[in-house]
Amino acid sequence: MSILVVDGLGGGLGAQIVAQLRLQLPQAEIIAVGTNSTATTAMVKAGASKGATGENAVRVCLKNAGCVIGPIGIVLADSMLGEISQAVASMIASSPVPKILIPVNHKNLEIVGMQTQQPLAELIKEAVQRAKNYL
């Protein structure tokens, strides 16, 4: 079982997630899937066990994932400047694998119930802790 980290654009958020996971779970298999090669490379440099790029990589890696972590945009079609296709968003959203989504602002999207704006670093720490609980 592995932890699947999905990110796009430059992979900065995914790289931070991977780095925290590697600190907290040094023996874990962390699979990085980027929507582009830049995002994948950033996450692999941050410590992912393996990396792959693209829609088919999401499909394949979901099969063995214990949980998926990424920004909320990974389940929103056309987010990340269009890098998240409808197929990718649907695959992740409909997968029975537990999803840990970090609320990142998107145009025309409000997340109700977030009383305070926590720093991104705190949200990543909380996401990593939840991943540890799944494993």
Give SS3 for 31.
strand
pTM, whole model, 2 decimals? 0.90
Residue spans per domain, the chain: 2-134
Tens-digit pLDDT profile for the chain (135 aa)? 799 999 999 999 999 999 999 999 999 999 999 999 999 999 999 999 999 999 999 999 999 999 999 999 999 999 998 899 999 999 999 999 999 999 887 667 777 766 567 788 888 888 888 888 877
What one-character DSSP code corresponds to residue 72?
G
Instruction: Decide: helix, strand or coil at residue 52.
Output: strand
Q: Which of 91, 70, 66, 90 is nearest to 80 (CA)?
A: 70
Specify the CATH class of 2-134 in words.
Answer: alpha beta
Phi, psi of 107 (to 5 degrees): -60, 135
